[in-house]
Amino acid sequence: MTTVTDAETAHRRAVDAVRAGLAALPADAPVRLRKKTSNLFRFRGGAGGLTVEGLDRVLAVDPEARTADVAGMTTYEHLVAATLPYGLMPLVVPQLKTITLGGAVVGLGIESSSFRNGLPHESVLDADVLTGTGDILSTRAPAAGSAGSASGDHPDLLSGLPNSYGTLGYALRLTIELAPVRPFVRLRHVRFGTAEEVAQALAEVSASRTWEGQRVDFCDGVVFSADEHYMTVGEMVDTAPYLSDYTGQQIYYRSIQELPRNSGVAVDFLTIHDYLWRWDTDWFWCSRALGVQHPVVRRLWPARYRRSDVYRRIVALDRRTGLSQALARRGGVAGVEPVIQDVEVPVDRLAEFLAFFHDEIGISPIWLCPLRQRDRRSWPLYPLDPDTTYVNIGFWSDAPLAEGQAPDHHNRRIEQVLMGLDGHKSLYSTASYTPDEFDALYGGTTYRDLKARYDPDGRLPDLYTKTVTG
C-alpha cells in the first residue's frame, strides 16, 4: 500500500472543516459547495457556502489490490496522474479533466469503457458521506458479482447516491476499483452510412467485446450527419508504430473523418494518457464555436488554455452577458436555446432518436457511447435494465428559436421523445420535466424516503428543485 501521510492528515482537517461549515450555516441558508470548477450547465448563480479545500487529494493507491483511496473532490486529471504510473486507471474515466470523482458518483459520468464497466459509481467499494444531518456515514458495496445491495449500517445510502447531485449528502472519501492498462491504444474508426448500421455495430461490440475478431477495450462513436456515422473501437497494446498528438495543431474529432482509410476503416495510435484525455483539448468539438480551431487562433492560443474548464468559463461569461442571444437576434432569429445534453436510449431505439434529432434539432456532431450496467444491483435514482445495452447520445450547442417558441422548446421536445423511447437524460444541464414525469424517471418515492432518512430537516437542496426549477 502506498500511503501519503500528509494527504491523510490534510484530509482529516478538511473533513472537520466542511462538517463545521455545515453546522455553522443558518438553518435556512442554501448549502452549496465552494468549488473552483464545475461541469454543470445550470447557470443559476449563488455562491458556494461550504469550503472543500483539502478534499481534492488521492490518499492512497494499492497496486496489488488495484484500488485507490480518494477524497471526493479530486479531479480525474489528478486521479489518473496518480494511477497511471502503476499501470492502472479508474474503470471509467469521464471525458473532461476537471470532473471530480464525487461528482461522477453523485451526478453520473460515462466514457468509452462503459460498455464493459458501466458507470463510475459501480466501481465504488466504500464511501464516507456527509449527510444533511451533519453526520458522516460509511457504506460499503457488496462483494464483486453479487446481486445484493450495499452492505454495512446504511445499505441504501450508497445505492441512492448516483444521480442525487449532492441532495442526500456529499461524498468526502471513496475507495474505488482500478483496472490495468497498457501503454498505448490502437484505434479503428469504422464508417457506417446509416444509424441502423452503427446501432447494430455498437450492440455487437457491447455483447461480444470484440470487433472483427479483435479485443475491444474502448468503444464510442461520432455522428456527423444522417449518412455519416463512425464507431471507434480501441484496443490497449504494448507497442505502437507511431503516435498521433491532438494537443497541438491537430484536432482529434476531425481525424476520425480525415485519416486515410482502408475498406472504410482508419487506424490511429495514442498513448493511454492521451487517449483518456482525447476529448478534453477541444471540449469534444465545442472549441469550434469559440474560434479555437482556426489555425491562426490555435497557434496563438496557449496550449495550457486548450482545455474544457477554460472553455466552460468563457461560456459562463457569455451566459451572464447575453452576447450570443444579442448576436442571434441581430442575425434575424428570435434567439438561441442552449441544447447541452447527454441522453440515453436502448440501442434498438437509437435510429429512431437520431431521425427525430436530425429532423427537428439539427445539431452536429453528435457523440455516441454504448453503456451496459456492470452488475445487477439496483440504482434507484437512475434505473437501468441490466439486460439492455443503452447508447449515451451527447450534443452540445445552441439551436435557433423561432418567433413564439418557448425558451426551452428544443429541450422539452427532446424530453418528450425520450420518454416515448424508454430513455432519459443526465441532469447536469437544463431540464423541464413535470414533477410526475421526474418521479417516474428518477425514483421519486425512493428518493423521498432517502431524503427523509438522511436529510430530514431539508438542509440540502431537493433534487427536483435543484435540477429542474432552480
DSSP secondary structure string, 176-237? EEEEE--SEEEEEEEEESSHHHHHHHHHHHHHHSEETTEE-SEEEEEEEETTEEEEEEEEEE
Q: Could you read off the pLDDT of 23-76 as tens digits, one per residue?
A: 888 877 778 777 777 777 776 655 557 777 889 999 999 999 999 999 999 999
What is the distance of C-alpha 448 from the center of its chain? 25
Q: Could you read off the pLDDT of 311-360 as tens digits, one per residue?
A: 888 888 877 777 777 766 777 677 889 999 999 999 999 999 999 999 99
Helix axes 195-208, 350-360, angle to 10 degrees: 140
Matching residue, cell 449528502: 169
339, 411 contact by CB (below 8 A): yes
- Report the pLDDT value the prediction gives residue 2, as an integer from 0 to 100: 44
- Report the pLDDT value the prediction gives residue 300, as an integer from 0 to 100: 93
189, 259 contact by CB (below 8 A): yes
- Report the pLDDT value the prediction gives residue 36, as an integer from 0 to 100: 75
* HSE-up (13 A, CA, CB side) for residue 94: 26
Closest by CA position to 380, among listed 170, 142, 161:
161
What's the grid cell of residue 169? 449528502
- Report the pLDDT value the prediction gives residue 144, as an integer from 0 to 100: 54
Q: Could you read off the pLDDT of 123-160 as tens digits, one per residue?
A: 999 999 999 999 999 988 876 545 455 555 687 999 99
Matching residue, cell 432519459: 424
- Report the pLDDT value the prediction gives residue 119, as an integer from 0 to 100: 97
Residues 173-185 have a mean pLDDT of: 98
How far is Cα 248 from Cα 342, in angstroms, rounded to an integer? 27
What's 243's DSSP letter?
Answer: -
430, 41 contact by CB (below 8 A): yes
Residues 295-310 have a mean pLDDT of: 93
How far is Cα 415 from Cα 437, in angstroms, rounded to an integer? 10
b/e map 348-384, b = 16+ CB within 10 Å: bbbbbbbebbbeebebbbbbbbbbbbbeebbbbbbeb
How far is Cα 269 from Cα 281, in angstroms, rounded to an integer? 17
Q: Is the confidence at residue 3, as pLDDT, over 50?
A: no
Pairing of strands 33-34, 50-51: parallel
How far is Cα 182 from Cα 350, in angstroms, rounded to an integer? 32
What's the grid cell of residue 147? 446481486
- Report the pLDDT value the prediction gives residue 314, as an integer from 0 to 100: 87
How far is Cα 48 from Cα 51, in angstroms, rounded to an integer? 8
Closest by CA position to 380, among listed 141, 157, 131:
157
SS3 424: strand
How far is Cα 123 from Cα 94, in angstroms, rounded to an integer? 13
Domains of the chain: 2-181 (3.30.465.10), 184-278 (no CATH)
What's the grid cell of residue 266? 482508419
177 — phi, psi (to 5°)? -75, 150
235 — phi, psi (to 5°)? -125, 125
Q: Is the confidence at residue 1, as pLDDT, over 50?
A: no
What whole-number percentage of the chain has pLDDT above 70? 94
Of 82-96, 254-268, 325-339, 430-444, give the lowest mean pLDDT range.
325-339
Closest by CA position to 121, among listed 374, 311, 431, 440:
374
Pairing of strands 169-180, 88-90: antiparallel
pTM over 0.75: yes
Q: Percent helix, strand and coil across the chain, each rounded to 5? A: 35, 25, 40
Burial grade of 446 (CB within 10 A; 0-12, 13-18, 19 or more): middle
Q: Is the confidence at residue 91, as pLDDT, over 90?
A: yes
- Report the pLDDT value the prediction gives residue 39, as an integer from 0 to 100: 77
What whole-number percentage of the chain has pLDDT above 90? 75
183, 73 contact by CB (below 8 A): no
How far is Cα 417 from Cα 90, in angstroms, rounded to an integer? 34
pLDDT band per the 50, 70, 90 thresholds, residue 18: confident
